[in-house]
Amino acid sequence: MAKETFVEQIADIDSDFPQWYTDVVLKTGLVDYGPVKGTMVIRPYGYAIWENIQSEMDRRFKQTGHSNAYFPMLIPMSFFTKEAEHVEGFAPEVAVVTHAGGEELPEPLVLRPTSETVFGNMYSKWLQSYRDLPILINQWANVVRWEKTTRPFLRTSEFLWQEGHTAHATEEEAMEETMKMLGVYREFAENCLAIPVICGRKTEKEKFAGAVATFGMEAMMKDGKSLQAGTSHYLGQNFAKAFDIKFLDKDGALKYAYTTSWGTSTRMIGALIMAHGDKRGLVLPPVVAPVQVVIVPIAAKKEGVTEVCRDVYAQLCAVGIRVKLDDSDNSPGWKFNEWEMKGVPLRIEIGPRDIQAGVSLVFRRDTLEKTQIPLASLASAVPALLEKVQREMLENARVRRDGRIVRAENLEELLDGVEGGNFVKAGWCGDRACEDRIKAETAATARVLDEDEKSERCVCCGKKAINTVYFARAY
Amino acid sequence: MAKETFVEQIADIDSDFPQWYTDVVLKTGLVDYGPVKGTMVIRPYGYAIWENIQSEMDRRFKQTGHSNAYFPMLIPMSFFTKEAEHVEGFAPEVAVVTHAGGEELPEPLVLRPTSETVFGNMYSKWLQSYRDLPILINQWANVVRWEKTTRPFLRTSEFLWQEGHTAHATEEEAMEETMKMLGVYREFAENCLAIPVICGRKTEKEKFAGAVATFGMEAMMKDGKSLQAGTSHYLGQNFAKAFDIKFLDKDGALKYAYTTSWGTSTRMIGALIMAHGDKRGLVLPPVVAPVQVVIVPIAAKKEGVTEVCRDVYAQLCAVGIRVKLDDSDNSPGWKFNEWEMKGVPLRIEIGPRDIQAGVSLVFRRDTLEKTQIPLASLASAVPALLEKVQREMLENARVRRDGRIVRAENLEELLDGVEGGNFVKAGWCGDRACEDRIKAETAATARVLDEDEKSERCVCCGKKAINTVYFARAY
């Protein structure tokens, strides 16, 4: 809505990546700081990305048989103490309501940091027989985790997310669900966010508080650090036992269900920014870009220019493209900078000479390439080009990432690797002590296991390796 | 997901309307009580209605130029004291976070009961020049209002809603926005919920805390009571002055903006239930029904029945109908009751004799009429019939309501009117004392003014009337 008179400057991506990130998120209008420390306001340009993410994910959840619902945000404090690991993991960062309606509450209420407990409580009430299973529910909601150090999208006191919670009759079905949703996340990350992800099991140290096993998907950022972009948890019977989620099975026996949970959040917007951004600012993949194409008239006052631009605008709208015609008073150069910073995938320039020649100049934000496309074929060429951009953004990100995965046989090599901005694959003996020492000496953590690859020796102690691990510094 | 073995019973709608409501919302799986008193879990069947409502409303908001965003739920307590009427209205029912991250907070934080204050705070930061105006933002969010007496959808501690917050350069533009959004609400209520609404200005007593003027839309429930289904507020410069929302105008002067806010909530689901429901349970209008058509096979084990039902199912899916094929083991009679209780607009029965004759029996939930429709024409006849149902549900609700609007010239007539389950139109002198006395003696409140109709005398004191008012008992 603002017609600004200068393009904002952003810090240099190579020399100060953290400042570049802060500049980009604030100056492109994605987000702003909220009045309470650690909170964020997701502004319309940022929220439009979230709406596109929601729409794509929600369709996938429904296609895999899940329904949406909404569970209360306020959870009795006592619920958290029912699962021992869960309370240990979440108690330090909960926000607590002690007063309401002018009175002190009989029991303090926690603002959900995650909802396994309240889903568990309701599932125990709803579940009777094996015929009620599986229960497959997702919710889109806000959650609150009180963090000391916060950054927009990456870590804030309140954020938006989806959390799926399912219950099953058998261990096999619950594990199948856990892996299926990890697969849905991977496919979404690759095909919608154009981010190649590494998926795998987390170590005991890194798993979700209360899970039997956590599987994560890790994305490489432009600085070589990793960002956990989604997790899928196999909870076994831990929460079923804590919340009495039981059913009468076919054989007449009363059994505990097996449950799962899986979540992704507005953090994915942070991943998008840092996986694709460059020195000019955001680079958004077409599937989730709020504006896919911007039309910039050149010498807009010359006869016919406005008309042709409007006509192209109408044509692109008609084929379902999210298009903006920037007919503001700013100069074309200013508009170029502005929309490049905002990461719009394609820019179409149309001026008097172009019109005479029956062409337009199309600029690709991701590769910075310009091509001439006949005006008459834009309505078919633009959708095809957007698909190409989407595909090539993923391919290029994959090449970039694969070039930054190195192996290490000892701690020095591991340190060199992560300091060089790489993911480092290495053997690990399975000992928590080695995992801790690696973190202390290199600031890298075990992101996920690669269970298909064998390693000989632990990168830390040199003893026999039982796993191969992706180590990286992480957001 | 539950394959139940008996159809739940609901209380008689005529003899015990409140119990009928409770039975319907719980037994159709719309909602359940949450673990914390006064909270609700919106279950998949209820949430699917909300998703349809959201999708229809969101499209209308975007068509009228609004963008979505997300503002923090936690608001500093001090924000509420900046607008005197606002704090008076909302302070008694706020929930307060006093501790977070294991520490006592320096300032207590309020869970938003509504977000004028936090939008105001951010708008004052973003707004510089007249060129930034209007600011047109909506958010979909949860809000918390601590209520003593609660009922699912109608009044709960936490509920879901949308709240639009806009800022404008002039009083005229802000008032135009206020009325435009009231119009959007009306059109949505009529065409999507099939509920005829009465829209108008609220009295000073009934207006939003902090508004210059509130406009509401009131819907008549089957028991003759009114339900406020949406409100649009003209806030004048009240919040602009409290939060310093200023801009540099064309003439070089620094001016306060004029703001509006408007909201609707999950309460609309309560309106749907009570405006259309009957003794068999829910009656849902097709536009928002989670399932628009249910196919029930008759003698499903007879040759060809399952195949034909599946074929019809596929045909209806293909034309975009939300259809369910109930191929469970329950009897047809059980299924009829179940889906009637759940309010599915159309039921298609297909049995061996129907197949031989090339027909199906189609049952309309709203009128309880049955028609034969050739199997071969279902794919075109069903969408047309759904449109007819949608249209006629509105027409019938309008006839029903119009027959229950009466006039009163004195308090006895007013009392008789509301006790007979009517909306009562009456003259009013404009005095708060009369409004209070009417409420004390009849339990009816002033719902909205009818500014087009003249009345001679105040229904209470007999002095000259300055307004005509719709009085009703209300949810």
Distance, in Å, from the CA atom of B340 to the CA atom of B347, rounded to the nearest integer, reads: 9
Q: Which of B244, B276, B308 is at the close of a domain? A: B276
Tell me whether residues A39 and B137 touch, CB distance under 8 A. no
Q: Which tops the pLDDT comparison, A300 or A123?
A: A123
Both B260 and B337 in a single domain?
no
For tokens 């379902």, name the residue.
A320
As a whole-number percent, the residues of chain A with pLDDT over 90 amount to 94
Distance, in Å, from the CA atom of A138 to the CA atom of A71, rounded to the nearest integer, reads: 10
Tell which of B28, B36, B82 to mutate to test the A interface (max A CBs under 10 Å).
B36
Both A176 and A114 in a single domain?
yes
Minimal Cα–Cα distance from B62 to chain A, Å? 12
Helix (H) or strand (E) holding A466: none
Asked if A33 and B71 touch (Cβ cutoff 8 Å), the reply is no
Both B316 and B351 in a single domain?
yes
**Per residue in A228-274, pLDDT tens?**
999 999 999 999 999 999 999 999 999 999 999 999 999 999 999 99
The answer as to whether A7 is a domain residue is no
Minimal Cα–Cα distance from B36 to chain A, Å? 7
A397 contact partners, CB below 8 Å, separation of at least 6: A194, A195, A196, A275, A276
Per-residue pLDDT at A5 exceeds 50: no
Asked if A447 and A224 touch (Cβ cutoff 8 Å), the reply is no
For tokens 């001679």, name the residue.
B456
Q: What pLDDT tens digit does each residue of chain B (475 aa) get?
A: 344 445 668 999 999 999 999 999 999 999 999 999 999 999 999 999 999 999 999 999 999 999 999 999 999 999 988 988 888 888 899 999 999 999 999 999 999 999 999 999 999 999 999 999 999 999 999 999 999 899 999 999 999 999 999 999 999 999 999 999 999 999 999 999 999 999 999 999 999 999 999 999 999 999 999 999 999 999 999 999 999 999 999 999 999 999 999 999 999 999 999 999 999 999 999 999 999 999 999 998 888 999 999 999 999 999 999 999 999 999 999 999 999 999 999 999 999 999 999 999 999 999 999 999 999 999 999 999 999 999 999 999 999 999 999 999 999 999 999 999 999 999 999 999 999 999 999 999 999 999 999 999 999 999 999 999 999 999 9
Instruction: Return the pLDDT at B46.
Output: 98
Q: What is the DSSP string of A30-90?
A: SEEE-SSTT-EEE-HHHHHHHHHHHHHHHHHHHHTT-EE-B--SEEEHHHHTTSHHHHHHH
CB atoms within 10 A of CB A433: 10
CB atoms within 10 A of CB A92: 11
The answer as to whether A107 is a domain residue is yes
Helix (H) or strand (E) holding A319: none
Distance, in Å, from the CA atom of A376 to the CA atom of B293, rounded to the nearest integer, reads: 44
Domain hosting residue A427, numbered range: 405-472
Of B69, B93, B101, the CB nearest to A92: B101
For tokens 């540099």, name the residue.
B248
Distance, in Å, from the CA atom of A85 to the CA atom of B119, rounded to the nearest integer, reads: 39
Length of chain A: 475
- The answer to whether the Cα torsion of A460, A466, A468, A471 is positive or negative is negative
Both A412 and A456 in a single domain?
yes
The answer as to whether B287 is a domain residue is no
A131 contact partners, CB below 8 Å, separation of at least 6: B2, B3
Q: Could you tell me which chain B residue has the CA closest to the CA of A136? A: B1
Asked if A283 and A52 touch (Cβ cutoff 8 Å), the reply is no
The answer as to whether B34 is a domain residue is yes
Q: Would an 8 Å CB–CB cutoff place A317 in contact with chain B?
A: no
Per-residue pLDDT at A2 exceeds 80: no
Instruction: Return the pLDDT at B6.
Output: 54
Strand partners, B158: B144
In chain B, residues with a C-beta closer than 8 Å to the C-beta of A88 are none
Structure tokens at B53: 């409502």
3-class DSSP state for residue B353? helix
Both B425 and B317 in a single domain?
no
A341 contact partners, CB below 8 Å, separation of at least 6: A7, A8, A10, A24, A27, A28, A280, A281, A282
For tokens 């008193």, name the residue.
B37
Residue A7 pLDDT level (bands cut at 50, 70, 90)? low
Is the backbone peptide bond immediately before A374 cis, with ω within 30 degrees of 0? Answer: no
Per-residue pLDDT at A78 exceeds 80: yes
Both B128 and B209 in a single domain?
yes
Distance, in Å, from the CA atom of A294 to the CA atom of A323, rounded to the nearest integer, reads: 6
Q: Could you tell me which chain A residue has the CA closest to the CA of B5? A: A131
The alpha carbon of A26 is separated from its chain's Cα centroid by a whole number of angstroms, namely 18
Instruction: Return the pLDDT at A83.
Output: 87
Of A36, A41, A73, the CB nearest to B158: A73
Q: Would an 8 Å CB–CB cutoff place A37 in contact with chain B?
A: no
Of A41, A128, A134, the CB nearest to B122: A41
**Per residue in B235-251, pLDDT tens?**
999 999 999 999 999 99
Both B189 and B57 in a single domain?
yes
Q: Would an 8 Å CB–CB cutoff place A106 in contact with chain B?
A: no
In chain A, residues with a C-beta closer than 8 Å to the C-beta of B158 are 72-74
Both A145 and A228 in a single domain?
yes
* CB-count exposure of residue B395 (10 Å: 0-12, 13-18, 19+): exposed
Q: What is the DSSP string of B90-111?
A: HGGG-EEEEEETTEEEEEEEEE
Residue A414 pLDDT level (bands cut at 50, 70, 90)? very high
Strand partners, B261: B165, B233
Longest dimension (CA), chain B: 82
Residue A95 pLDDT level (bands cut at 50, 70, 90)? very high
Helix axes A17-27, A267-276, angle to 10 degrees: 120
Instruction: Return the pLDDT at B86.
Output: 86
The answer as to whether B299 is a domain residue is yes
Distance, in Å, from the CA atom of A190 to the CA atom of A395, rounded to the nearest integer, reads: 9
In chain B, residues with a C-beta closer than 8 Å to the C-beta of A269 are none
Q: Could you tell me which chain A residue has the CA closest to the CA of B126? A: A2
Structure tokens at B313: 């199912």
Q: Would an 8 Å CB–CB cutoff place A148 in contact with chain B?
A: yes
The answer as to whether B425 is a domain residue is yes
Instruction: Return the pLDDT at B7.
Output: 60
In chain B, residues with a C-beta closer than 8 Å to the C-beta of A131 are 2-3
**Per residue in B129-177, pLDDT tens?**
999 999 999 999 999 999 989 999 999 999 999 999 999 999 999 999 9
Distance, in Å, from the CA atom of A258 to the CA atom of A250, rounded to the nearest integer, reads: 16
Minimal Cα–Cα distance from A122 to chain B, Å? 8
Cβ-Cβ pairs closer than 8 A, A with B, add up to 186
**Per residue in A180-238, pLDDT tens?**
999 999 999 999 999 999 999 999 999 999 999 999 999 999 999 999 999 999 999 99
Of A35, A72, A95, the CB nearest to B76: A35
Both B382 and B409 in a single domain?
no
Both A35 and A171 in a single domain?
yes
Instruction: Provide the whole-model pTM.
Output: 0.96
Minimal Cα–Cα distance from A259 to chain B, Å? 16
A277 contact partners, CB below 8 Å, separation of at least 6: A13, A20, A21, A24, A222, A283, A343
Both B259 and B334 in a single domain?
no
Length of chain B: 475
Helix (H) or strand (E) holding B33: strand B31-33
Distance, in Å, from the CA atom of A452 to the CA atom of A198, rounded to the nearest integer, reads: 13
Side-chain-side CA neighbours of A301 within 13 Å: the count stands at 3
Tell me whether residues A36 and B74 touch, CB distance under 8 A. yes
Q: Which of A385, A413, A438 is at the close of a domain? A: A385
Tell me whether residues A131 and B2 touch, CB distance under 8 A. yes
Minimal Cα–Cα distance from A443 to chain B, Å? 24
Tell me whether residues B47 and A67 touch, CB distance under 8 A. yes
How does strand A246-248 pair with strand A254-256? antiparallel
Instruction: Return the pLDDT at A24.
Output: 97
Tell me whether residues A118 and B35 touch, CB distance under 8 A. yes
Is the backbone peptide bond immediately before B286 cis, with ω within 30 degrees of 0? Answer: no
Distance, in Å, from the CA atom of A287 to the CA atom of A383, rounded to the nearest integer, reads: 11
The answer as to whether B285 is a domain residue is no
Asked if A348 and A375 touch (Cβ cutoff 8 Å), the reply is no
Q: What is the DSSP string of A358-410?
A: TEEEEEETTT--EEEEEGGGHHHHHHHHHHHHHHHHHHHHHHHHHTTEEE-SS
CATH of residue B414's domain is: 3.30.110.30
The answer as to whether B327 is a domain residue is yes
Both B170 and B211 in a single domain?
yes
Q: Report how many domains make up chain B.
A: 3
Q: Could you tell me which chain A residue has the CA closest to the CA of B148? A: A101
Return contacts of A402-405, CB within 8 angstroms, 24+ apart: A404/A220, A404/A224, A405/A470
Tell me whether residues A68 and B74 touch, CB distance under 8 A. no
CATH of residue A224's domain is: 3.30.930.10
How far is residue B346 from each of residues A84, B49, B298, B337, B355, measured CA to CA in Å?
49, 16, 16, 13, 19
**Per residue in A138-167, pLDDT tens?**
999 999 999 989 999 999 999 999 999 999
Q: Would an 8 Å CB–CB cutoff place A137 in contact with chain B?
A: yes
Q: Which of B248, B276, B304 is at the close of a domain? A: B276
Instruction: Return the pLDDT at A4.
Output: 44
Distance, in Å, from the CA atom of A194 to the CA atom of B11, rounded to the nearest integer, reads: 54
Side-chain-side CA neighbours of B191 within 13 Å: the count stands at 9
Q: Could you tell me which chain B residue has the CA closest to the CA of A39? A: B72
